[in-house]
């Protein structure tokens, strides 16, 4: 894993049937918005424990890296005040997993990793984990199989 990598987990009981994404920071800690957070920073070992045995976590990477997105995430994870499906894309305080990862890339690189031509001022909308998983700007680097 490298800073800026996106960790994607598919829809399952572990992800409340919506999927989950997180972003890796420079120190290889995992930053993510989570109902038990609201903003969390976990080691990869602790992060993996959120998932059930047999789950797979995909590691996705931007072609030329995403270090600055990982730095942005580290610097703003504690700005999240409440885990909430807020539709204002520029609102960091009210956040959820995929919007936070999307914000890391839009603020760091002005890149919409949802492939929907969104900006911070786009009309109110949601960003879903599978939209990030399917991004043309990210490619699969490997995966982690959860074992307990």
Note the pLDDT of residue 17.
46
Helices (H) and strands (E) in the chain, counts: 4, 8
Q: Which domains does the chain have, with CATH numbers?
A: 5-146 (3.90.1720.10)
Tell me how far CA of residue 70 lies from CA of 7, 46, 105, 106, 125, in angstroms.
12, 18, 9, 12, 23
The mean pLDDT of 6-11, rounded to a whole number, is 87
Note the pLDDT of residue 125.
92
Q: What's the pLDDT tens digit per position in 35-58?
A: 888 999 999 999 999 888 899 999
pTM: 0.94
To the nearest whole percent, how much of the chain has pLDDT over 90? 83
Q: What's the pLDDT tens digit per position in 90-139?
A: 999 999 999 999 999 999 999 999 999 999 999 889 999 999 999 999 99
pLDDT of 12 over the 80 cut: no
Residue whose pair of structure tokens reads 């998932």 in the numeric block: 51
Q: How many CA atoms lie within 13 A of 15 on its CB side?
A: 25
């Amino acid at each position: 894993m490298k800073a800026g990598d996106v960790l994607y987990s598919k829809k399952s009981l572990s992800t409340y049937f919506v999927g989950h994404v997180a972003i890796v920071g420079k120190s290889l800690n995992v930053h993510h918005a989570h109902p038990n957070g609201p903003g969390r920073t976990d080691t990869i070992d602790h992060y993996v424990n959120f998932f059930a045995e047999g789950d797979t976590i995909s590691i996705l990477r931007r072609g030329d890296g995403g270090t600055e997105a990982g730095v942005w995430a580290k610097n703003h994870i504690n700005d999240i005040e409440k885990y909430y499906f807020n539709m204002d894309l520029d609102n960091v305080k009210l956040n959820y997993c995929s919007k936070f990862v999307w914000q890391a890339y839009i603020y760091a690189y002005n890149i919409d990793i949802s492939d929907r031509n969104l900006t911070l001022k786009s009309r109110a909308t949601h960003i879903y984990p599978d939209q990030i998983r399917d991004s043309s700007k990210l490619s699969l680097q490997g995966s982690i199989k959860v074992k307990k």
